[in-house]
Amino acid sequence: MDFAWLEVTTLAERPDRMPLTAAFDDPTVAPFLYQDPVSAALFAELVERHPQYTLLAVERDGGRAAAMVCTLPFAAGGTLPPGGYDAVLLAAAADTLAGRTGADVSALFATVRPDLRGRGVSGHLLGLARRNAARLGHPALFAPVRPTRKHLHPQLSLERYVARRRPDGTAEDPWLRVHERAGGRFVAVAPHSMTITADLARWREWTGLPFDRPGPVAVSGALGPVLCDPERDVATYVEANAWYRHDL
């Protein structure tokens, strides 16, 4: 597929494009997913501190932001953390504060402008992210992958969902399929990759649901239930992601 209409650079190569990282408004993302406190506190700052790890694609005709893949260096310590996304951010922040760069690298965020989806852009950017990680000296690219259609099957465990296959043997989930076609392989579940806890008023604001009964609540866009505790006026969402490894 021809992607000559895209120009892809790292933010280190084009620091003037840093403002474009905020140009990806995705109406399909549930509002509560932006409320992970670890991500809110660390993600943007770490992207700025490690600009050579983020790839930004713009349209050559007009310079409009088209897609982005953010990766970050971290130290896995020989074992992929069960904390997944949040754990990578915390490890990357600790390394940054100590003035060192982790030996490992993880893809954390990928997005394609909604009107450009279905054209192979995500796979193209993932391939370039693999090359960029290799260029930076990493032997593998890891990713705590959030399957794009798992929210349609919240009752399934992530292990069972990852195992779902199409007749041709490829992953049923489109984003898992992109990773596998690029050379990634599933290695483990990150059972608490992201945790969001808030009072019930905020959950009602985010979801439009009453949150007035104890127990699991099915929320649109969630990969599993949100646990509601009216007595303590709190609800918690713990999301599992699928660790993939791309040997470079």
Burial zone of 14 (CB within 10 Å; 0-12 exposed, 13-18 middle, 19+ buried): middle
Cα of first residue to Cα of last residue in the chain, in angstroms, is 22
Alpha helices in 32-107 (DSSP H): 37-49, 84-97
Residue 187 has pLDDT above 90, yes or no: yes
Instruction: Identify the pLDDT of residue 81.
Output: 97
Residue 77 has pLDDT above 90, yes or no: no
Q: Span 6-194+241-247: which CATH code?
A: 3.40.630.30
**What are the structural domain ranges in the chain?**
6-194+241-247
132-184 pLDDT, tens digit each: 999 999 999 999 999 999 999 999 999 999 999 999 999 999 999 999 999 99
Instruction: Identify the pLDDT of residue 28.
Output: 86
